[in-house]
Amino acid sequence: MFDFVRTHTRLLQLLLLLVIFPSFVFFGVQGYSGFTEGANATVAKVDGQSITQAEWDQAHQRQIERMRAQMPGVDPKLLDAPEFKQQTLEGLLRQRVLLTAARKLNVAVTDERLQRVFVSDPQFAPLRNPDNTVNTALLATQGMSSQMFAQQLRQDLSIRQVMQGLAGAPVAGTTAPKTALDALLQRREVQVQRFDTADFRGKVQPTDEQLQAYHKANEASFRAPEQATIEYAVLDIDTVKKGVTVPEDELRKYYEQNLARYTVAEERRAAHILVAADKDRPADERAKAKAKAEALLAQVRANPSSFADLARKNSDDPGSKEQGGDLGFFNREAMVKPFADTAFSMKPGEISNVVETDFGFHIIQLKEARGGERKAFEAVRPALQDEVGQQLAQRRYAEAAEQFSNLAEEQPDTLQPALDKLKLQKRTATVRREAQPTGDGPLGNAKFVQALFDDEAVKDKRNTAAIEFGRNQMVVGRVVQHQPARLLPLAEVRDQVREAVVQAEALKLAREAGEARLAELKKGEGVDRLPTAVTLSRLQPQNQPREVIDAVMRAPLTQGPALLGTPLPGGQGFAVLRVLQSLPPQVQPEQLKALQDRYLQTLAEAEGQAYYQQLRSRYKAEVKVRAPVADAPSDGSR
């Protein structure tokens, strides 16, 4: 234990986060209570049981903390991106589905198996005491008790059992991988002649009649969607906080109540000599060990400079004895209580009496002490103002939200009273009836957009009700100008129509030219004018599109070279193909083995995902919301 502490004290928190807690990141969130109704809103359901906004928020915060520990320089905005939030919710849903399956399938993890896994799994080594008990001091640094850890480990093992039958089973013999890899690695020699749409555009000169006909035949492509120009106001915690003045006495009170946060953590650097005798050893053995420690202490007292030599020769701690017993710097929580109490009561240079712990008997020499300095009140005043201001704003937000809602309802034809009373900014935007999220804000909220297009809001230009679109975030809006969906006349979209006609006609010409060339080749003419043959495979497509590769690989070669044509993707044109021969794969044995392993792994993952989807369907798991995306500019349009 002391070897680990000496080497890894500073990495302990990161190690626990990376090695042990990722698989548990979504658990232990039921105790959370939110400040608003939104915290209790249902964001997903599994087997009739709700996952709340508060649980989602806390799970996401844990994900952020884990990612920051792994990548300290990561951009915070990236971690709070809508896609990352949605991944957190999907992960939380998955965990809940698998736990439900474990419960329904009566999957049980016995105490014996729990202990066996904890003792044998290397990932838990940092948490094991020498006697294979849980190091509660290290757990405490993460805010966990041994009971919490055991519960989370039991849940994790239950989930593993649910999926283990699929994950551990063979999913394919030798035939399926060979067939799949043959299709991937098979090579074919082919001559490719392209007829690109771009080369025919200059030959197209559309008439007015063609433009009119195309416009009429494709009216759905030239309709302007229903949209509205709106003005809106947002009330959030930051706005409330701007109006908060923090009294001096509140700052000082908060400072005194949180002195530990503004005090540099104390650390000690010590060396020790351990005479090992676990607490479960017979009393006579422990008595002999203590007597040996007392004898060593007498030698140290007689010659303090011999401490390091005595440690190298006599200490039973293999991790520190070669360093003369030096444990490096550690905090109080990193050591068992008797050891820590003694070390933190000593002055540098002092040597302790014999200290008894569950591991045996120690002689401690304190080398250095650091930390314990308290940051002055003035030095942390900005942080205090921010934190106390945030707390006061949180308390006042509910009152401001009620005012916001009432003012919007009492004077429904204007936002000005709410803007003036709460010192809010008027924002403007153009929105469509279909919510098209473009940012982390109200314009990406379907409920708000729907309210804006209600008959009353559109016809009478009345304020919407105050709508909560995020935690401590509300919005009220009103329509200033409404434009129904309409067909755009040809005069407005002439350029777009002409471009579409030119592209379509050029593509038609390219295909006709390609098909004419193909007919010529089938007659045995012009073969010598084809480009030089290239060798293609699905693994090495040589910059050819997938459509060409698929056509080449499907071509039958039983009667010699095959001739065929295929459209190019995205309206790029037409390709004429002359497939000459099939060639054996060119792959090294180790590459083939790696591909076979990857194939089997992918197949196993697909089986596991299919099983999870089946469980998800069986237990009626559903996500009811999407993560909001970033707000559009105040004067932007959509």
pLDDT at 281 over 80: yes
The pairing of beta strand 573-583 with beta strand 562-568: antiparallel
Query: What's residue 419's pLDDT?
Result: 94
> Pick from 502, 510, 496, 514: which is nearest to 204 by CA?
502
More confident residue, 359 or 107: 359
pLDDT band with cut points at 50, 70 and 90 for residue 76: low
More confident residue, 29 or 290: 290
Q: What phi and psi values does residue 633 have, to the nearest 5 degrees?
A: -55, 150
pLDDT band with cut points at 50, 70 and 90 for residue 136: confident
CB atoms < 10 A from the CB of 449, how many? 24
How many angstroms separate the Cα of 377 from the Cα of each of 249, 254, 386? 12, 10, 14
Joined together, the tokens standing for residue 490 give 């040809």
pLDDT band with cut points at 50, 70 and 90 for residue 25: very low
Q: Note whether 105 and 99 are within 8 A (CB).
A: no
For helices 82-104 and 53-70, give the axis angle rounded to 10 degrees.
Answer: 110
pLDDT at 630 over 70: no
Query: What's residue 342's pLDDT?
Result: 95
* CA atoms 296, 299, 304, 306: torsion sign: negative
Joined together, the tokens standing for residue 407 give 């003012």
pLDDT at 66 over 60: yes
Query: What's residue 629's pLDDT?
Result: 43
Could you please report the per-residue DSSP string of 405-428? HHHHHHSTT-SHHHHHHHTPPPEE
**Separation of alpha carbons 583 and 537, rounded Å:** 10
pLDDT at 96 over 60: yes
108-117, 140-149, 513-522, 539-548: which has the minimum mean pLDDT? Answer: 140-149
**Separation of alpha carbons 418 and 407, rounded Å:** 6
More confident residue, 34 or 286: 286
Query: What's residue 19's pLDDT?
Result: 34
What is the arithmetic mean of pLDDT over 222-248?
90
DSSP-derived secondary structure letter, 38: G
Query: What's residue 6's pLDDT?
Result: 38
What whole-number percentage of the chain has pLDDT above 70? 87
Determine whether 315 is exposed, middle or buried from the number of CB atoms within 10 Å of its CB (0-12, 13-18, 19+).
buried
What is the arithmetic mean of pLDDT over 242-268?
83
Which tens digits make up the pLDDT trace of 153-186? 888 888 888 877 554 444 555 566 666 777 778 8
> Pick from 220, 212, 209, 223: which is nearest to 497 by CA?
212
Q: How would you write 64-78 as a 3-class SS string?
A: HHHHHHHCCCCCHHH
**Separation of alpha carbons 380 and 389, rounded Å:** 14
pLDDT at 37 over 50: no
Q: Note whether 497 and 210 are within 8 A (CB).
A: no
**Separation of alpha carbons 49 and 93, rounded Å:** 11
120-134, 339-353, 539-553: which has the minimum mean pLDDT? Answer: 120-134
More confident residue, 594 or 275: 275
pLDDT at 214 over 70: yes
The percent of the chain in helix, strand and coil, each rounded to the nearest 5, is 55, 20, 30
Q: E strand or H helix at 470, and its extent?
A: strand 467-470
What is the arithmetic mean of pLDDT over 588-608?
80
pLDDT at 440 over 70: no
Determine whether 417 is exposed, middle or buried from the number of CB atoms within 10 Å of its CB (0-12, 13-18, 19+).
middle
Q: What phi and psi values does residue 273 have, to the nearest 5 degrees?
A: -115, 125
**Separation of alpha carbons 401 and 235, rounded Å:** 7
Which tens digits make up the pLDDT trace of 465-502? 999 988 889 999 999 999 999 999 999 999 999 999 99
Q: Coil, strand or helix: which one is 26?
A: coil
Query: What's residue 55's pLDDT?
Result: 85
CA gyration radius, the chain: 36
74-83, 271-280, 388-397, 452-461: which has the minimum mean pLDDT? Answer: 74-83
Query: What's residue 33's pLDDT?
Result: 33
Highest mean pLDDT among 84-93, 418-427, 629-638: 418-427
Which tens digits make up the pLDDT trace of 320-356? 899 999 999 988 888 899 999 999 999 999 999 999 9
Query: What's residue 178's pLDDT?
Result: 67
User: Mean pLDDT across the chain, nearest whole number?
Assistant: 83
Q: Note whether 477 and 452 are within 8 A (CB).
A: yes
Query: What's residue 441's pLDDT?
Result: 82
What is the arithmetic mean of pLDDT over 70-85?
74
pTM: 0.48
The pairing of beta strand 227-236 with beta strand 473-483: antiparallel
pLDDT band with cut points at 50, 70 and 90 for residue 626: low
Q: How would you write 297-366 as a 3-class SS string?
A: HHHHHHCHHHHHHHHHHHCCCCCCHHHCCEEEEECHHHCCHHHHHHHCCCCCCCECCCEEECCEEEEEEE
CB atoms < 10 A from the CB of 407, how many? 23
How many angstroms separate the Cα of 69 from the Cα of each of 19, 142, 265, 408? 11, 13, 20, 44
What is the arithmetic mean of pLDDT over 242-253?
84
**Separation of alpha carbons 222 and 498, rounded Å:** 13
**Separation of alpha carbons 333 and 12, rounded Å:** 11
pLDDT band with cut points at 50, 70 and 90 for residue 459: very high
pLDDT band with cut points at 50, 70 and 90 for residue 638: very low
For helices 307-314 and 283-302, give the axis angle rounded to 10 degrees.
Answer: 150
pLDDT band with cut points at 50, 70 and 90 for residue 635: very low
Query: What's residue 507's pLDDT?
Result: 97
Can you say whether residue 28 is alpha, beta or left, with left for phi > 0 and alpha for psi between -120 and 50 degrees? left
pLDDT band with cut points at 50, 70 and 90 for residue 566: very high
pLDDT band with cut points at 50, 70 and 90 for residue 146: confident
